[in-house]
Amino acid sequence: MRLLVSPMNIEEARAALSGGADILDVKNPKEGSLGANFPWSIKAVTELVGGRVPVSATIGDLDYKPGTASLAALGAAFSGADYIKAGLLGVRSAEQAEDMVKNIVRAVKGYDRRKKVVASAYSDYSRVGSIPPMLLPAVAESSGADVVMVDTAIKDGRSTFEFMSEQDLLEFISAGQNLGLEVAIAGTIGFKDLDLLRRIDPDIIGVRGIVCGGDRKSSIKPELVNELKLAIS
């Protein structure tokens, strides 16, 4: 499993990098679960990293607006992100999801085919009226995306593991990997969840709160990044 850590700014990016994160995921938690940060923040982190690890950037918990989403995706790609991550929060059907992801992929890969598109659903989809995660792997594969992810939409301390069983997660991971996709799991992950994560073995785990000492509004601590990295190695 690779460890994706989500810094808000350059100082947190330094902390995540020094702690051993495999991927730096630039986001802005003030704007939601997958809140988008500013282009200059993405660029600054990319310059800091200097190619040592990939940089990911979230482009928001998106409504069904393919044009808006594709323009945001191109902005993140132009700003230097290697992975462009879109949350399909306001998407209500597989057809809408495919329309969104296809246009995001077209925008990103038309600019640089080496960059990867991450399509994210939400484990607590029933709370927000979004699509079930199990619809996502087939949509992502047919749309040309590279990674599927599940996260929590509402950050109230409840984790992905409260909304999806171990079997649900295994099925999601298998569905994605069988279609040639990488699979990422996120959503208020704690140290207590590591045994389960080892059993289901996703390609990537995404974290913030756990490496901020349990409060995602606090700052990333390099020693906690290192502790988590060692624990999953």
Are 104 and 78 spatial neighbours (Cβ–Cβ below 8 Å)?
no
* DSSP H/E element including 199: helix 194-200
3-state class (DSSP) for residue 56: strand
Active-site residue, 85 included: yes
DSSP string, 121-184: EETTHHHHT---GGGHHHHHHHHT-SEEEEE-SS-SS--HHHHS-HHHHHHHHHHHHHTT-EEE
Per the DSSP assignment, residues forming a β-bridge with 149 are: 120, 184
Active-site residue, 30 included: no
Are 130 and 96 spatial neighbours (Cβ–Cβ below 8 Å)?
no
Q: Which of 30, 43, 65, 85 is catalytic?
A: 85
Exposed/middle/buried for 106, CB within 10 Å: 0-12, 13-18, 19+? middle
The pair of structure tokens assigned to 138 is 């087939």
Are 155 and 216 spatial neighbours (Cβ–Cβ below 8 Å)?
yes
The pair of structure tokens assigned to 93 is 């059907």
Q: Which of 27, 115, 116, 229 is catalytic?
A: 27
**What residues are annotated to the active site?**
27, 85
